[in-house]
Amino acid sequence: MTCLECKKELGYIDHKKSMDSMGVELCAQHRKRMEMLVERNNTPKEAIRLYYGLKNVGVNPMLEWWDGSKFVTLAISRVKLNIEIDTDLQLISHERAISNLEDAMHSFKSGFTTIRIPHVLIKHYLNETIDNVLGIMDGLRANAKVI
């Protein structure tokens, strides 16, 4: 058990605290930093799991990146890919749906692609989710060359 950020060895208490609050292994210092971010942006736990999952395969996403008008939950700037995590899927209202669509439109206009991933997918199928994000990145890279 080591911290995903600094590779520091974690004791049982730190391990448990971090898994309970963040769902990933972080030392006390890095957990606190992440908790502040989560509190500020209401970031879902799954975003943090996906963030570290992507880092683990060599992708460097940015967590809660300010794009000039809003915070993007995960942004992969090299391929201009924004990832939002959808929670409470059953409760989506038409206002929310329109607002999501508008977000996607604004992103496209500035050359960014936005994908929305249901949080349950990350919870239960993290590896498959990561594989698909990698595939999307390949696709975006290939398209960028054509243009």
Interface ranges with Zn ion (CB under 5 A): 3, 5-6, 8, 27, 30
How many other C-beta atoms lie within 10 A of the C-beta of residue 134? 14
Q: Which residue is nearest to Zn ion (CB)?
A: 3
Q: Which is nearer to Zn ion, 30 or 119 (CB)?
A: 30
Q: Which helix (H) or strand (E) holds 26?
A: none
Q: Which is nearer to Zn ion, 27 or 76 (CB)?
A: 27
Return the ∠ at Cα 76 (arms to 14 and 135), rounded to 5°: 100
Q: Which is nearer to Zn ion, 27 or 83 (CB)?
A: 27
CA–CA separation, 99 and 77 (whole Å): 23
Residues contacting 104, CB < 8 A, separation 6+: 114
Nearest-approach distance from CB 20 to Zn ion, in angstroms? 17
Q: Which amino acid is at 45?
A: K
Nearest-approach distance from CB 35 to Zn ion, in angstroms? 13
Q: Which is nearer to Zn ion, 8 or 106 (CB)?
A: 8
Rg (CA), the chain: 16
Nearest-approach distance from CB 24 to Zn ion, in angstroms? 11
Nearest-approach distance from CB 33 to Zn ion, in angstroms? 9
